[in-house]
Chain A
């Protein structure tokens, strides 16, 4: 028995929706203002400098790009792995993937020293640069997912959905490999230069994308008062837990491998033992709050039944992911370059010292503006196109499972 999923635009006329649009538009405006300020005054108004050249905007951008790839999880489970229960969410998942990626790219572009030269980046390619490859991967992802959505939403094209689904799934794996390789290919910096960063970023995309997706699904269905059953939520929270374990696995592999190499003891002890804010973020936020706590919450037999707990766990995974990116991106640059291994080095150009960095207000504005832009696009798209199923009640998601659950309940009631 299959259930025909009904999709419907959201009404989008009530005060709550308009307030949401208004709030997001204000945040987008603040982000644009930050970009304008940076363009006028230069990057000295940010916390970035000649030591820490990539800052908070890059953390937001990478977060959005990685989460975009992971937001496609639900669609992939339906089209690639044949999980019918995810099928009603496939369109929504594709849409979220696109808007998150657009948000991330906007932040990345607006942080360039010369964002006005975007056309140069589109016309001058250095194919040895992983950055140039990523430009192709990102724009290609948008195109592939757009076609995927079209195939899903256009009845005549439905039979091609599996092909598009497979293409999008492979593309998102390559995309996250490319994002991780931005750091993995940097031979000069000790915190990077590791092939394991590529699978680590893939694992992060699964967990961060799932965390964002769970929160967005909860918010959207509660906000639009559409039924949302526990069945799909339970499956997603279990997967989120597995993905968090996956990330932890690669984090352990990365650090153990590096701890084995004597030449990397300096940078490892910096992150793990005495790196100040970076050590705190690693142990307390990334591992404690962002990994262990959500795992307990997601797999606790009683707590994990609560939607609030699931939402809180997803939120903590996101906070942990941001901390992880902060440690990788900023921590990796703050640790001084080893020009002369084994020697103490000093200069007027901050050689040999841990570089200082504190994000400025314009950086927060730009980063949050990018997130707001992603959700503004999402909110608008939901109003004008049929992305959202009318119901995710258990019997609509998986009638067999729902029936089984009913049977169990009936039997239990009869026994009682």
Chain B
């Protein structure tokens, strides 16, 4: 009796399991690659972000820039005007007070990204966990996102590339920018190349974490110490926040 009642159930389990496996296999390359680690696909999931303390960031230190470009295989091709830069050190000088600042600027992973709004083919997209990316398969290289980005965060690839990293696909004729080390996020590393380098070789000015987790270091520091967004007037709600500017 009990065997009889159990049999259909296990069959159903088997069928649904197999169906899920087939569906998973069919769409696995796209889905699994882009599936955010631990993301529920709603506002309840994580939103990854960075906090940068500009008081600790030293002029002349480029540990974050070097690490990022090493991680993603971004190298100078000897043409500074067309060379890609995913992250750059920016020097600020206040002409009224004489105060100087040094800070890294990269894609700010806005909640309302203008690059995503203007992209005609939806190649510019935002994941449920807030990471803004370019789909290299559907980017047609129109550069409208570069016109729209208020942070000058994106680069167009002006010539053929070699020695690319498997986790960081790049290609001539497409646009690219900081991925917030999405390959690390999806691997569960819980850090980015720039943050890691800043903590080991730099001055510990950068924190990576989940902005939506009230217990995370980044959320606690944002709550207790406050922060600023670059071009906060545009109300894009970037996931990269700064202190000291």
Residue B117 lies at the interface, judged by CB distance under 8 Å to chain A? yes
Q: Mark B161-190, 1 if CB is under 8 A from A, else 0.
A: 000000000001111000000000000000
Stretch of B5-13, B146-154, B210-218 that contacts chain A: B146-154
Q: Determine the interface band of chain A, counting residues with CB < 8 A from chain B.
A: 35 or more
20 contacts between A and B (CB under 8 A): A42-B173, A48-B158, A49-B81, A50-B82, A50-B84, A50-B158, A53-B146, A113-B143, A113-B157, A117-B138, A120-B138, A121-B120, A124-B122, A126-B117, A129-B120, A186-B114, A333-B147, A339-B152, A344-B93, A347-B105
Q: Mark B1-27, 1 if CB is under 8 A from A, else 0.
A: 000000000000000000000000000
Query: Could you tell me if B140 and A121 are in contact, using CB atoms closer than 8 angstroms?
Result: yes
Query: Could you tell me if B152 and A113 are in contact, using CB atoms closer than 8 angstroms?
Result: no
B125 CB to nearest chain A CB (Å): 9
Residue A4 lies at the interface, judged by CB distance under 8 Å to chain B? no
Q: Which residues does chain B contribute within 8 Å of A112, judged by CB atoms?
A: 140-142, 173
A112 CB to nearest chain B CB (Å): 5
Q: Which residue of B has the minimal Cβ distance to A109?
A: B140
Residue A415 lies at the interface, judged by CB distance under 8 Å to chain B? no
Query: Could you tell me if A120 and B140 are in contact, using CB atoms closer than 8 angstroms?
Result: yes
Query: Could you tell me if B81 and A50 are in contact, using CB atoms closer than 8 angstroms?
Result: yes
CA distance A132 to B117 in the complex (A): 10
Complex A-B, nearest 7 residue pairs according to Cβ-Cβ distance, in ascending order: A113-B141, A113-B173, A188-B150, A42-B159, A49-B81, A131-B120, A44-B158
Residue A351 lies at the interface, judged by CB distance under 8 Å to chain B? yes
Query: Could you tell me if B114 and A187 are in contact, using CB atoms closer than 8 angstroms?
Result: yes
Q: Which residues does chain B contribute within 8 Å of A117, judged by CB atoms?
A: 138-141
CA distance A351 to B105 in the complex (A): 11
Query: Could you tell me if A53 and B147 are in contact, using CB atoms closer than 8 angstroms?
Result: yes
Q: Mark A121-133, 1 if CB is under 8 A from B, else 0.
A: 1001110111110
- Besides A50-B81, A343-B94, 8 more A-B contacts (Cβ < 8 Å) are A43-B173, A50-B158, A54-B143, A117-B141, A126-B122, A186-B147, A342-B94, A351-B105
Query: Could you tell me if B139 and A114 are in contact, using CB atoms closer than 8 angstroms?
Result: yes
Q: Which residues does chain A contribute within 8 Å of B118, judged by CB atoms?
A: 128-131, 185-186
Known: A50-B82, A135-B120, A347-B89. A339 touches B147 (CB 8 A): no
Q: Which residue of B has the minimal Cβ distance to A351?
A: B90
CA distance A112 to B143 in the complex (A): 8
Q: Which residues does chain B contribute within 8 Å of A339, judged by CB atoms?
A: 90, 105, 150-152, 230-231
Residue A41 lies at the interface, judged by CB distance under 8 Å to chain B? yes
